[in-house]
Amino acid sequence: MINVHRDNDALTLRISGKFNFSCYKEFQDAVAGPAPARYVVDLSKAEYIDSSALGMLLLLREKVGDDAGRVVIRSGAGQPSEVLKLANFQRLFTVN
């Protein structure tokens, strides 16, 4: 499930449970429209992510002109954090 929060310069997507292809529509709807100064994808409440989640994050990065500073990922702990490390996402995003 994706909880969307918008403030002045950031759009925060708080994702809980499983982040996989079943979230695609919700994710697309959430990030549709003009890009904010930065997106914050909060995975601290996510339990599981698969490769399609990584694909969606990469496309979001493309949307902001491959600017690593404009997509912030809060990785939390557990499987999502390990998968992000395995995919070397700290090179492509601001992961904290």
Partner 1 sequence: MNSSETLSQLVGQTLTGVAEDLSVARLAVRDGVARLTSNFYEFRERLKLQGEELHAVARTLEGDKANGGTGFIQDMNGIVSRFVEDLVMVSASSVRLVQRVDEMGLDIEQVMRNLGRIESLASETRFIALNARIEAHRAGEVGMTFRVVADEVKSLADDASSFSAQIRGLVERTEGRLFESRLTVGKLASHDMNGALEAQRQVLSALEQLGATNARVSGSLVEVEKQVTETVRALQFEDMVTQLLDAASRRLEAVRALWLEWVAHAAAAPASNPHVDDAPTAPPADDNPAERTI
The residues of the shown chain that bind partner 1, judged by CB under 8 A, are 20-21, 24, 28, 49-52, 54-56, 58-59, 79, 82-83, 86-88
Least distance from partner 1 to the Cβ atom of residue 9, Å: 25
What sign has the CA pseudo-torsion 28, 95, 13, 53? positive
Q: Residue 42: which of 91, 81, 92, 82 has the closest Cα?
A: 81
Nearer to partner 1, 3 or 51 (CB): 51
80 vs 38: CA distance, rounded Å: 21
Nearer to partner 1, 71 or 83 (CB): 83
By beta-carbon proximity to partner 1, the closer residue of 9 and 33 is: 33
